Structure 1
Amino acid sequence: MFADERRNSPLHNLRDVIGALQLPIIDVKGRAGDFADVHFDIMEPRTWVETARCILRFRQGRKILAPQYRETIEAEQQLLAHTFVSGRSITGMRYPLAPTAVCYPGFFSAEKTIPIAESLVKRGYLRKSFFDRVHECGSCSSRRLSVREECPSCRSADLQETALIHHFHCAALLAEQDFRQDTALICPKCSRQLRNYGKDYDRPGHVHRCNNCAALTSEPEVGFICLDCNAKIDADSAKRIDLFSYSITDAGADFLQTSDVPMIGGLPISLAQRLDQLRSDANMSLAVAEITYHAKSSIIALKGEPTFNRLRALFLENVQNHLAGTGSVHVSASADYLLIDYRESGSEADITALLLRCENILSDHLEASLRFISYPASASQ
């Protein structure tokens, strides 16, 4: 029940503070807005009914959940279950009080929600839709940026729009203020007075004049100032970030209602579901292997996390293509896994050699290694 007004605090991380999902937030102060699931006012009987309906909706949703997901501590399962129980999509909202400039009312803060939601999208349990595109400060990663027109020469924002004057006699093309002397127009190039518009001169358009360096430009550059660290950023060098909203898929809802999915601690939920689908096939000899990237830290330190993620995605695509119908790749936030038919994929040495082939075509080696978590009975003998 939300009774603390937190007058000086943002609300985007309300779920982070209370630390609970699958339970409704009831706003009794009328200030939480979309961040609460329902508003209750003792003076308005209408809100009594709305509050009761909200509580019942959460209760019914929890009843439908398979037992292992009602009190789960796994972040992916928590987020997916809360989406199902609350009946709310993970909808983005612009929020300038947070450095991320986005929040997801009813859920965790964007810093927590986005990585988990993206992982669930890869597994097919959430679908995402474009919400917005923002720019990010390279110094502090804030997205609270002030957009402004700047002088291409000195990057000052002190620009003044002025009319251009074209003097026919000497072909001077300058800002009007360069010609203006009191009330007269005197050409600074040839010192003639301009008297007749259309005969002595014309006005071909407008330009921006920089009051800092006096440069003229018809196309000012776009730049940013970070409102958090005051860094100056060129538009071309600013990092572009696409933001998305998320909603649960039929596969996600079905997964949450399936009670017999074997959950191996720490493994992606997609892998557990795939194991459940294949375990009755007597013709398959299934094994699970974890992929570890020993060069991850060094690549991130030298070239950044986006480069590592790109290399990892290309590597896994190569692995999946080589496995074809003999195995599948499953991705989690912390590690990647292979589910393979041991009879078709060959020995452990063969699979390790396959990983090496898939890695050799990359610009940087990930130093991937394989650790089998479970062997089929025939392979372990």
Structure 2
Amino acid sequence: MTLPTGPSPSTSGVMTAWAQLVGQIFTVWREAGLSWKPRVRWFPRIPPHLDIVFGWLFDPAEGDDVDAILFSDERSSSPLHDIRDFVGGLQLPMIDIKGRAGEFADAAFDIMRPNTWSETARRIVGFRQQRERLAPQYRHTREPDLEILAHMYVSGRPLRGMRYPLTPEAVCYPGFFSAARVVPIAEEFVLRGFLKKTFLDRLHECRSCRSRRLSAREECPSCRSADLRETALIHHFHCAALMPEELFRHGTALVCPKCKRQLRNYGKDYDRPGHAHVCNTCDTTSSELEVGFVCLDCSARMDGDAANRVDLFSYSLTDAARAFLEGHAAVLAANLPVSLQREVARLNATAGARAAIAEIRFAGKDALIATSGRPAFQKSRDLLVENLRNRLAGVGSLHVAEDVAYILIECFEPHAEAWLHSLLARSEHLLRYKLDARLAIAQLLGRAQP
């Protein structure tokens, strides 16, 4: 579909001016490679005062044959961290019409700002070109995990974390789903070798409500009150008294509360070695205070070492993920991680190789989730994976899918299966929450040497 040369002439001077402006936009779009009238979906709706002019520029559409999403939310204070939860369509660029979405959109379009016209066209064209490079089954997928991978691919932007204090998670991923949805999926893809993560920040989390919006404060080590005052210390040389200055003060004079001598000469009778803190609640004097937290969401108080520590990460695509999305990965089994598929393909092409794939399933998964929650299962599984990887170094490799893990042993001998069972038992023995992990040899690869 080619772009029209411009809207129909109008007898109104105002409409004629708008028509000329739209014609200029079409010209810029053509120069940027946008040679068709974009088909768009509006969110939440097209503003009434823009319907005529934007009707000349864009064709409204639904379904899969859409080039972009036009974001026109006029609310000045609505949150943006979860906007993609509602807008959807991660394989489509989100174009900000009102100029308030910032990094949460893929481009901004302002009909009165020519510098935004070409960027909008480039993003629409770029997204379409990248979508065409995806394997057909991923171009319009509605599965959240695949949507995230596909959006990283077509947009060219990593899953970059950003500190965001407006949500209890205190982090968001502009352009993607909310952090609560996207992080568990990203961590699964890290285990599968599709994403690489880089450290962003370390936060503390409330034990009561899991909010990361905590207020750090200095507290009295005796009663944990934050009602503290600072006072100077005085050291009396004669009797070695070391106390707050206020205890020495008698009017304008300094009198030692321990030996009752008057202090007259600084440097000869006494010195001032520093400061201390006095608790207004329990009168305890402390030179070192404790650190505590108060949750800004539920008001729970906790000691500094009692709050959960949470690491935040950003994520980027690996070569394995790109090959998977483009349909270039050799699919040897639908449920095998791509990293394992590649290793198996290499071994099958090696003469004289004898390898085996051991499959590990977690029989205790459902029971553990029911009693302790999914985070407990995921943490135990990740620890088990780490233990196994450490023990397998130089002998085999570990590859993880969502509900199963695989061990690839390149030199598989008759005694290797028993050794793997023992290895798994020792690795799980270290876990607080047991997974009831069960191992079986799923496939033998290659052929024995003569």
Which residue among 425, 428, 434 is the counterpart of 1:360? 425
> Which stretch shows the higher mean deviation, 35-44 or 162-171?
162-171
Change in Cα spacing, 1:269 to 1:10, as seen in structure 2 (3 Å) is farther
Which residue of the partner structure matches residue 61 of structure 1?
130
Which residue among 302, 309, 317 is the counterpart of 2:389? 317
**Does structure 1 residue 197 correspond to structure 2 residue 266?**
yes
What is the rounded CA distance, in whole Å, between the counterparts of 1:264 and 1:197 in structure 2?
Answer: 84
Q: Secondary structure at the match of 2:147?
A: helix
**Does structure 1 residue 208 correspond to structure 2 residue 277?**
yes
Which residue of the partner structure matches residue 50 of structure 1?
119
Q: Secondary structure at the match of 1:107?
A: coil
Aligned length: 370
What is the rounded CA distance, in whole Å, between the counterparts of 2:85 and 2:334 in structure 1?
Answer: 24
Amino acid across the alignment from 2:242: L
Which residue among 136, 140, 147 is the counterpart of 1:71? 140
Q: Output the TM-score relative to the length of structure 1.
A: 0.83
Q: Secondary structure at the match of 2:263?
A: coil
Report if the CA contact (8 A) 1:319-1:355 is conserved.
no
Deviation of the 1:246 alpha carbon = 1.7
Amino acid across the alignment from 2:234: I
* Structure number with bigger Rg: 2
**Unpaired segments of 5 or more residues in structure 1?**
none
**Does structure 1 residue 137 correspond to structure 2 residue 186?**
no
Change in Cα spacing, 1:245 to 1:165, as seen in structure 2 (3 Å) is same
Amino acid across the alignment from 1:92: G
Deviation of the 1:173 alpha carbon = 1.4
What is the rounded CA distance, in whole Å, between the counterparts of 1:180 and 1:197 in structure 2?
Answer: 14
Which residue of the partner structure matches residue 96 of structure 1?
165
Question: Matches of residues 270-309 of structure 1 in structure 2 within 5 Å?
Answer: 270-271=339-340, 290-296=359-365, 301=371, 304-305=376-377, 308-309=380-381
Deviation of the 1:171 alpha carbon = 2.6
Q: Secondary structure at the match of 1:358?
A: helix
Q: Secondary structure at the match of 1:149?
A: strand
Write the deviation string for residues 97-128 of structure 1: whole angstroms up to 9, x where unpaired: 11111111111222222222233333433322
Which residue of the partner structure matches residue 225 of structure 1?
294
Change in Cα spacing, 1:29 to 1:182, as seen in structure 2 (3 Å) is farther
Which residue among 122, 143, 154 is the counterpart of 1:85? 154
Change in Cα spacing, 1:280 to 1:250, as seen in structure 2 (3 Å) is same
Q: Secondary structure at the match of 1:128?
A: strand
Which residue of the partner structure matches residue 152 of structure 1?
221
**Unpaired segments of 5 or more residues in structure 2?**
1-69
Change in Cα spacing, 1:117 to 1:338, as seen in structure 2 (3 Å) is same
Considering Cα pairs closer than 8 Å and 6+ residues apart, tell me whether 1 or 2 has the greater RCO. 1
Report if the CA contact (8 A) 1:66-1:257 is conserved.
yes
Amino acid across the alignment from 2:110: D
Change in Cα spacing, 1:366 to 1:123, as seen in structure 2 (3 Å) is closer
Write the deviation string for residues 205-237 of structure 1: whole angstroms up to 9, x where unpaired: 111111111111221111111111212122222
> Which stretch shows the higher mean deviation, 96-105 or 74-83?
74-83
What is the rounded CA distance, in whole Å, between the counterparts of 2:265 and 2:390 in structure 1?
Answer: 73
Q: Output the TM-score relative to the length of structure 2.
A: 0.71
Report if the CA contact (8 A) 1:225-1:233 is conserved.
yes
Report if the CA contact (8 A) 1:208-1:218 is conserved.
yes
What is the rounded CA distance, in whole Å, between the counterparts of 2:413 and 2:86 in structure 1?
Answer: 47
Change in Cα spacing, 1:58 to 1:259, as seen in structure 2 (3 Å) is same
> Which stretch shows the higher mean deviation, 227-236 or 114-123?
114-123
Report if the CA contact (8 A) 2:294-2:300 is conserved.
yes
Change in Cα spacing, 1:264 to 1:17, as seen in structure 2 (3 Å) is farther
What is the rounded CA distance, in whole Å, between the counterparts of 2:389 and 2:97 in structure 1?
Answer: 50
Write the deviation string for residues 138-157 of structure 1: whole angstroms up to 9, x where unpaired: 22211111111111111111
Q: Secondary structure at the match of 2:240?
A: coil
